[in-house]
Copies of this chain bind each other. A is one copy, B any other.
């Protein structure tokens, strides 16, 4: 954490100085905004939190409910999401409060007495080294709280406007500015007490599976009809089932069940298989009661006892995988949009799936983390509006992959356990196969399955051999390093904050220290002085040198042999009102055995490598340190000179 750059300021450094005029008026919606976000769920709040950090961008977020969520539906937080929370500066709060998922256990009908269940396997939840963060479980409402606190403390002091229901939107393509007009109902105690109008440059519908924004755009979710009812309940219970604090998948003769331990050490979520539905039957028609849910869970867990003491929340749902074929109003086909978009949807508004893979909340937040920096770049004049087309182009295909995975997973989960020779019944899913499928797809459930295709913001993989562990199109996989200026062990990826900046991680080659002749020295000189340097072209005069491109260098030498004060200007820049040196740009490998980032991520030790990372932490490019023209061409394709 860096602070006091512009002079010492007492108090909490996370409460940033308010930008002029940044007060929240709960009574009135602003007449004109840059971005109007509809819905304050995980997708909406991730976007709002991202945009709240830019004091030049006017954001408004409206929510139909009368106040913040108290009790959430979603709970699983994938490793990838934790990495994003780190970029938003609150990962440590989640780590502290959440339940950590460490192992998963698998149960099936006992071979000798199939009416009983027996444990048939354990697997580590997350493979070693997949992420520096664990897979955790925490009430969605608390995640909202952390975002809301961040927004309140941001320069724009952004807060949601509650009790506003989206009515309609109109896009006037001929308008000079603020082309989208949105009408909203003002609610009070559930009653409509007025209608307000907001004109926006962009509108993002984060309003859930029944999205009114999506309907207004004429888009729809397409996919499987649901055909299987599941119940879910959060319980405080007494049980002798030994794995109640593990994530456990139980297949029994009486149906299937999933145990998800929850935060606080006592609460547990149970997903309980209920009935198969008829072709066009809806779960609502079944009138499934809590008592039925509990009874089903008790049958499945037999011979173990389950005595439910309190049920803070429960629900019954149908499994169904549905998706929208595009996420914006650009029309045209996916890769050849007819225009630049003005209205977007994100999260459950564009894809729904079963909760089994624990992906709903996670994937929704990744949607708007993808969109947020793009909107900011366009609104700040850093990038041409065409950048916005990449949102749907990138997010729709990866959601399709998720849905395919989820369909398979949910099907296995709803199937009964095959018994084979030693038990009954025949058919169904082999428990060993079920366990194997879980293990094989660990990367997916951890949120690491996303791999963007080449585009204007995602380079080809022509130089991938220079950094095999940093795969272009996937998220930047952090690794431990040592900061040269103070020998502090840090995580390299944690340099990547949700601040809309690009990170250029320059791994030094054998040339080593940034001498003028080395690849790294040449890169620094190029970026600092060349007329076609992206840094010179796209950074506003007077702004800090690293305000658009944040260059970091990683050397192969131990930190003791390096001196930050003799580094090139870009690696020891002077910043802020007082022109103070920034000491946090240069790193060495972690000297602990097996922890050298060059080995861990397969960096070419002779040549080094430049890893270009987007503001959403995805790797945009891997280039030779000397590929100055390629680097310039990459950014010239979508950025706007100042």
Residue contact A560 to B122, C-beta cutoff 8 Å = yes
Instruction: Determine whether A216 belongs to the interface, using a CB cutoff of 8 Å to chain B.
Output: no
Report chain B residues within 8 Å CB of A380. Answer: none
The binding surface of chain A is classed by DSSP as loop
Report chain B residues within 8 Å CB of A239. Answer: 581
- Interface flags for A229-257 (1: CB within 8 Å of B; 0: not) read 00000101111111011100000000000
Residue contact B11 to A266, C-beta cutoff 8 Å = no
Given the interface contacts A234-B8, A236-B8, A565-B240, does A261 sit within 8 Å of B579 by beta carbon? Answer: no
Instruction: Determine whether A312 belongs to the interface, using a CB cutoff of 8 Å to chain B.
Output: yes
Residue contact B310 to A583, C-beta cutoff 8 Å = no
- Interface flags for A319-336 (1: CB within 8 Å of B; 0: not) read 000000000000000000
In the bound complex, CA of A622 to CA of B9 (Å): 48
- Residue in chain B with minimal CB distance to A576: B266
Instruction: Determine whether A564 belongs to the interface, using a CB cutoff of 8 Å to chain B.
Output: yes
Contact of A1 among B96, B103, B141, B584 (CB under 8 A): B96
In the bound complex, CA of A3 to CA of B142 (Å): 14
Binds B, one of A190-198, A289-297, A443-451, A482-490: A482-490
Residue contact B485 to A245, C-beta cutoff 8 Å = yes
Instruction: Determine whether A5 belongs to the interface, using a CB cutoff of 8 Å to chain B.
Output: yes
In the bound complex, CA of A1 to CA of B98 (Å): 8
- Residue in chain B with minimal CB distance to A583: B245
- Residue in chain B with minimal CB distance to A559: B103
Contact of A12 among B103, B145, B574, B579 (CB under 8 A): B145
Report chain B residues within 8 Å CB of A564. Answer: 242
Residue contact B5 to A266, C-beta cutoff 8 Å = yes
Instruction: Determine whether A7 belongs to the interface, using a CB cutoff of 8 Å to chain B.
Output: yes
Report chain B residues within 8 Å CB of A1. Answer: 96-97, 263-265
- Interface flags for A558-597 (1: CB within 8 Å of B; 0: not) read 0010011100000000100011111110000000000000
Residue contact B264 to A2, C-beta cutoff 8 Å = yes
Instruction: Determine whether A102 belongs to the interface, using a CB cutoff of 8 Å to chain B.
Output: yes
Instruction: Determine whether A20 belongs to the interface, using a CB cutoff of 8 Å to chain B.
Output: no
Given the interface contacts A2-B266, A245-B486, A486-B261, does A7 sit within 8 Å of B102 by beta carbon? Answer: no
Instruction: Determine whether A147 belongs to the interface, using a CB cutoff of 8 Å to chain B.
Output: no
Chain A stretch 580-624: residues in CB contact (< 8 A) with chain B: 580-584
- Residue in chain B with minimal CB distance to A310: B7
Report chain B residues within 8 Å CB of A578. Answer: 236, 238, 309-310
In the bound complex, CA of A610 to CA of B93 (Å): 34
Residue contact B97 to A13, C-beta cutoff 8 Å = yes
Report chain B residues within 8 Å CB of A246. Answer: 486-487
Instruction: Determine whether A267 belongs to the interface, using a CB cutoff of 8 Å to chain B.
Output: yes
Q: How far is the CB of A495 from chain B (nearest CB, A)?
A: 12
Chain A stretch 106-154: residues in CB contact (< 8 A) with chain B: 122, 139, 141-142, 145
In the bound complex, CA of A58 to CA of B261 (Å): 38
Contact of A92 among B96, B581, B582 (CB under 8 A): B96
In the bound complex, CA of A70 to CA of B9 (Å): 9
- Interface flags for A410-440 (1: CB within 8 Å of B; 0: not) read 0000000000000000000000000000000
- Residue in chain B with minimal CB distance to A562: B242
Instruction: Determine whether A531 belongs to the interface, using a CB cutoff of 8 Å to chain B.
Output: no
Given the interface contacts A12-B145, A13-B97, A486-B100, does A4 sit within 8 Å of B238 by beta carbon? Answer: no
- Residue in chain B with minimal CB distance to A89: B96
In the bound complex, CA of A485 to CA of B99 (Å): 12
Contact of A580 among B96, B309, B312, B560 (CB under 8 A): B309
In the bound complex, CA of A581 to CA of B241 (Å): 12
Residue contact A583 to B7, C-beta cutoff 8 Å = no
Q: How far is the CB of A627 from chain B (nearest CB, A)?
A: 31
Contact of A574 among B2, B5, B238, B580 (CB under 8 A): B238
Residue contact B8 to A565, C-beta cutoff 8 Å = no
Report chain B residues within 8 Å CB of A100. Answer: 486, 488
Report chain B residues within 8 Å CB of A10. Answer: 70-71, 139, 141
Q: How far is the CB of A402 from chain B (nearest CB, A)?
A: 27
The 9 closest A-B pairs by CB, nearest first: A8-B312, A245-B486, A3-B264, A2-B265, A102-B487, A10-B70, A309-B578, A4-B264, A245-B485
Q: List 28 A-B contacts (CB under 8 A).
A: A1-B96, A1-B263, A1-B264, A2-B265, A2-B266, A3-B264, A5-B264, A7-B310, A7-B312, A8-B236, A8-B312, A8-B313, A10-B71, A10-B139, A10-B141, A11-B145, A13-B97, A92-B92, A99-B486, A102-B487, A236-B578, A236-B580, A238-B579, A244-B583, A266-B583, A309-B578, A309-B579, A309-B580
Extra contacts, 18 of them, besides A10-B139, A92-B92, A102-B487 (Cβ < 8 A), are A1-B96, A2-B266, A3-B263, A4-B266, A5-B265, A7-B236, A13-B263, A13-B264, A92-B96, A100-B486, A102-B486, A102-B489, A103-B486, A236-B580, A242-B564, A245-B583, A246-B486, A265-B582
